[in-house]
Amino acid sequence: MSSTEYDVIVIGSGIGGLVTATQLAAKGAKVLVLERYLIPGGSAGYFDREDGYRFDVGASMIFGFGDKGTTNLLTRALDGVGMSIETIPDPVQVHYHLPDGLDLKVHREYEKFLQELTAYFPHEEKGIRQFYDECWKVFNCLNAMELLSLEEPRYLTRVFFQHPFACLGLVKYLPQNVGDIARRYIQDPQLLKFIDAECYIWSVVPADRTPMINAGMVFSDRHYGGINYPKGGVGQIAQKLVEGLENAGSHIKYKARVTEILVENNRAVGVKIASGETFRAKRVVSNATRWDTFEKLMPSTQKPNSEKKWSQRYQQSPSFLSLHLGVKAESLPAGIECHHILLENWDDMEAEQGTIFVSIPTLLDPSLAPEGHHIVHTFTPSWIQEWENLSPSEYAQKKEQAANRLIERLTQIIPDLDRGLDFQEVGTPRTHRRFLGRDNGTYGPVPSRKLLGLLGMPFNRTAIANLYCVGDSTFPGQGLNAVAFSGFACAHRIAVDLGLG
């Protein structure tokens, strides 16, 4: 039994957990972060391979590093503990390679993107502009105000009086989904499919189930703060947050898997880790997914009714099959962009291993691969069920077949890929489950049916007193900037609850 009592214990050092921890530490709270793995970051972590490759585990299309407005939450989170990271601007957010020859780039420059899209759909010129302009309205509302906890009435009152029109705008968009707004302006079925793909690549559901608030952020910030890659790899974000946390006098403990949230009289009072050690705190924050938090870290008899209802509204999205490649520089076509989406058949967009996501971060930061080489990280949605009940040799064989299929499909954008291969490693949903500690390796919750926008997504407080959740199982969902938002909100609510300045 540990004798120290902390103000706050955070279970997990994903970006959501670290933003909560650093914001609270900066306000003087004594925080302990417990991380089951060897390094921080979770899905925003990295791994090194002996030949000089440093691979991002997941995220590499990074929002939130802008230098203006209020939605640049990664810049702000680092700054909160006196840290910063040099970033490299990406001139193109993504290059789409879609069915029916739809091959276009989302340029950092808004007008250039609209022109490129309109060239494919000249008859929809007006509708395209109206739709994306409406996304800007959402973004401008968000970007006008300090983004903190919507569960804190005094903040809500203050922000309402400071920005009444922005607040009313957000209230209007909160229950809306992208599909309804897109159909208001756009009729062409192929263009509506493109809008589905625009949503799917980060929400992993089509436009009808993608909340307008999130779309407003993504579809506008890419042209405002832009997509920027952190120098040294995505793992730098978590590393720097940990450095800031420790400078502020708080701590992180690695190889500390929480096995139980200790609850007394329906109040969270601490946690127990796998070694048997317990830690007590005034507040406990879980950065694990809701499935892990309420189904594994506490007895099922304690699962609150609100959580049971939530599980009916939201379901797990699939995990990913990841292919990490090291390739010779000469095998990449000249002028290729960093991020790509490949889909050969519209009907396969949501299918097992349907849409392919590609990221070549060494085009922006060559230091992540040996000289004369690049990283090509490819991932595609895949369900854990596809990878279970296999013998070790069947598992290895299935991984190799899946990798070969991906490489073959990738030759559409990198014709010489096969000849340039220098390194290859495959991760399956089992790998994601094991290393990221996420139930079934899921990317996160998605609406199980069409819901009222973001209204059903829980904030940070839970039905158990003194227990909070943070990260992609909370408002506003997946993505590094989104979980940073959730971290700011969680820290704000706890700071008020603890009476910290």
- Residue closer to ligand FAD by CB (options 242, 407) is 242
Q: Please tell me whether residue 15 binds ligand FAD under the rule CB under 6 A.
A: yes
Q: What residues between 453 and 472 interact with ligand FAD by CB under 6 A? A: 471-472
Interface mask toward ligand FAD for 226-265; x: CB under 6 A:
-------------------------------xx-------
Q: Which two tokens stand for residue 47?
A: 């791994």
Q: How far is the CB of 426 from ligand FAD (least distance, A)?
A: 13
Of the candidates 225, 71, 63, which has an alpha carbon nearest to the alpha carbon of residue 143?
A: 71
CB atoms within 10 A of CB 315: 12
Q: Please tell me whether residue 478 binds ligand FAD under the rule CB under 6 A.
A: yes
Q: How far is the CB of 187 from ligand FAD (least distance, A)?
A: 31
Q: Please tell me whether residue 429 binds ligand FAD under the rule CB under 6 A.
A: no
- Residue closer to ligand FAD by CB (options 159, 298) is 298
- Residue closer to ligand FAD by CB (options 426, 480) is 480
Q: If you write DSSP's letter for every residue of 71-112 in order, what string do you get?
A: --HHHHHHHHTT----EEEESEEEEEEETTTEEEEEESSHHH
Q: Please tell me whether residue 332 binds ligand FAD under the rule CB under 6 A.
A: no
Q: Please tell me whether residue 268 binds ligand FAD under the rule CB under 6 A.
A: no
Q: Please tell me whether residue 354 binds ligand FAD under the rule CB under 6 A.
A: no
The answer to whether 142 and 216 have CB atoms below 8 angstroms apart is yes
Q: Please tell me whether residue 476 binds ligand FAD under the rule CB under 6 A.
A: no
Which residues make beta-bridge pairs with 390? none
Q: Please tell me whether residue 11 binds ligand FAD under the rule CB under 6 A.
A: yes
Q: Please tell me whether residue 365 binds ligand FAD under the rule CB under 6 A.
A: no
Q: Is the dihedral of CA 180, 186, 189, 190 positive or negative?
A: negative
Q: How far is the CB of 248 from ligand FAD (least distance, A)?
A: 19
Of the residues 7, 8, 9, 17, which one makes contact with ligand FAD according to CB under 6 A: 17
Of the residues 95, 105, 283, 438, which one makes contact with ligand FAD according to CB under 6 A: 438
Q: How far is the CB of 280 from ligand FAD (least distance, A)?
A: 16
- Residue closer to ligand FAD by CB (options 85, 159) is 85
Q: How far is the CB of 295 from ligand FAD (least distance, A)?
A: 12
Q: How far is the CB of 188 from ligand FAD (least distance, A)?
A: 28
* Secondary structure of 419-440 as H, E, C letters: HHEEEEEEECHHHHHHHHCCHH
Tokens 């299929």 locate to 405
- C-alpha 419: how far from its chain's center? 33
- Residue closer to ligand FAD by CB (options 128, 339) is 339
Distance CA 20, CA 247 (A): 15
Q: How far is the CB of 393 from ligand FAD (least distance, A)?
A: 26
Q: Considering CB under 6 A, how many residues would be counted as binding ligand FAD?
A: 39
Q: Please tell me whether residue 279 binds ligand FAD under the rule CB under 6 A.
A: no
- Burial grade of 257 (CB within 10 A; 0-12, 13-18, 19 or more): middle
Distance CA 116, CA 108 (A): 12
The answer to whether 298 and 53 have CB atoms below 8 angstroms apart is no
Distance CA 501, CA 498 (A): 9
Stretch that binds ligand FAD, among 110-118, 284-292, 298-306, 493-501 (CB under 6 A): 284-292
- Residue closer to ligand FAD by CB (options 19, 166) is 19
Q: How far is the CB of 283 from ligand FAD (least distance, A)?
A: 16
Q: Please tell me whether residue 443 binds ligand FAD under the rule CB under 6 A.
A: yes
CB atoms within 10 A of CB 423: 19
- Max CA separation in the chain (angstroms): 70
Instruction: Give, as one character, the DSSP assignment of residue 246.
Output: H
Instruction: State the pairing for strand pair 356-359/339-342.
Output: antiparallel
Q: What residues between 117 and 176 interact with ligand FAD by CB under 6 A? A: none
Q: What residues between 33 and 62 interact with ligand FAD by CB under 6 A? A: 34-37, 42-44, 58-62
Amino acid at 318: P
The answer to whether 201 and 94 have CB atoms below 8 angstroms apart is yes
The answer to whether 66 and 75 have CB atoms below 8 angstroms apart is yes
Which residues make beta-bridge pairs with 102? 98
Q: Which two tokens stand for residue 453?
A: 């926008």
Of the residues 410, 436, 446, 494, which one makes contact with ligand FAD according to CB under 6 A: 436
Task: Reduce the DSSP state of residue 227 to 3 states and report it.
Answer: strand
Distance CA 46, CA 156 (A): 37
The answer to whether 236 and 85 have CB atoms below 8 angstroms apart is yes
CB atoms within 10 A of CB 372: 10
Q: Please tell me whether residue 402 binds ligand FAD under the rule CB under 6 A.
A: no
Q: How far is the CB of 399 from ligand FAD (least distance, A)?
A: 16
Instruction: Give, as one character, the DSSP assignment of residue 146.
Output: -
Q: Please tell me whether residue 198 binds ligand FAD under the rule CB under 6 A.
A: no
Q: Please tell me whether residue 97 binds ligand FAD under the rule CB under 6 A.
A: no
Q: Please tell me whether residue 321 binds ligand FAD under the rule CB under 6 A.
A: no
Q: How far is the CB of 160 from ligand FAD (least distance, A)?
A: 29
Q: How far is the CB of 15 from ligand FAD (least distance, A)?
A: 5
Distance CA 490, CA 264 (A): 22
Q: Summarize as ranges the residues that interact with ligand FAD (CB under 6 A).
A: 11-17, 34-37, 42-44, 58-63, 257-258, 287-288, 292, 320, 322, 379, 436-438, 443-444, 471-472, 478-480, 483
